[in-house]
Amino acid sequence: MRSKEYMIEFPKLRAGANQFEFKVDEKFLSDYEYSPVKQADVDIKLNLFKTENMLDLDFILSGSANVVCDTCLAAVDMPISHEFKLVIKFSDSENLADDEIIYLNRGEHEYDLKQYLYESFVVAIPTKKGCDEVPEPKPCNKDVLGKIGLITHVDETDEENGEKDTDPRWDKLKNIFNNN
């Protein structure tokens, strides 16, 4: 799944600061069959600092991902805002023991960032996905919330009178302190 648009070509980089921009959207995610997210609009800014023996990469992700609410199963555009760092070192020996540093042979001339960008995007999605995290109006699925008991059903005739259906067990508990 190599992609030219996510390839960093080392000979084309100038020493010092370099900047790149990438996008995670439906087209990008379509290459990942089992992705937990199918729709997104996330901009990734990459600040890359090149020295003779290494590359220091700072990724800034911002945008939104369309996910399913954990509680009510409604589609939610979850805000994404995260920063990641990666170091690529050029070495004659391969060191696979370090998870935060990618070691490349000095003869390498390019590195494909697509998989790293995808993994960073997936990690940036909050573990708890809910309607509480998005601005008003909330896209909550009231039918599902009613079925799992998180909201009580409001009868239309009672709503006109300003009354709501309540659980009779709670009504009895409300009167516990009024029996003096």
Q: How far apart are CA 166 and CA 158, in angstroms?
A: 11
Higher pLDDT, 98 or 16: 16
Is the pLDDT at 132 greater than 50? The verdict is yes
Residue 113 and residue 162 share a domain? no
Residue 123 and residue 151 share a domain? no
Do the beta carbons of residue 6 and residue 112 sit within 8 Å?
yes
Q: Look at residue 57 in the predicted model and tell me its pLDDT.
A: 94
Both tokens of residue 141?
């699925």
Q: Look at residue 155 in the predicted model and tell me its pLDDT.
A: 45
The stretch 4-22 carries a mean pLDDT of: 89
Residue 164 and residue 83 share a domain? no
Residue 148 and residue 83 share a domain? no
Is the pLDDT at 158 greater than 80? The verdict is no
The stretch 148-169 carries a mean pLDDT of: 56
Q: Domain of 167?
A: 142-177
Tell me, yes or no, if the pTM score tops 0.75.
no
Is the pLDDT at 137 greater than 70? The verdict is no
The stretch 19-44 carries a mean pLDDT of: 91
Express as a percent the part of the chain with pLDDT over 90: 29
Is the pLDDT at 149 greater than 80? The verdict is no
Residue 119 and residue 51 share a domain? yes
Residue 82 and residue 158 share a domain? no
Instruction: Give the phi and the psi of residue 64 in degrees, each rounded to 5.
Output: -150, 155
Residue 85 and residue 146 share a domain? no
Q: Look at residue 5 in the predicted model and tell me its pLDDT.
A: 85
Residue 154 and residue 71 share a domain? no
Q: How far apart are CA 130 and CA 179, in angstroms?
A: 41
Q: How far apart are CA 106 and CA 91, in angstroms?
A: 6
3-class secondary structure, 170: helix
Both tokens of residue 41?
């609009």
Q: List beta partners, residue 44.
A: 22, 61
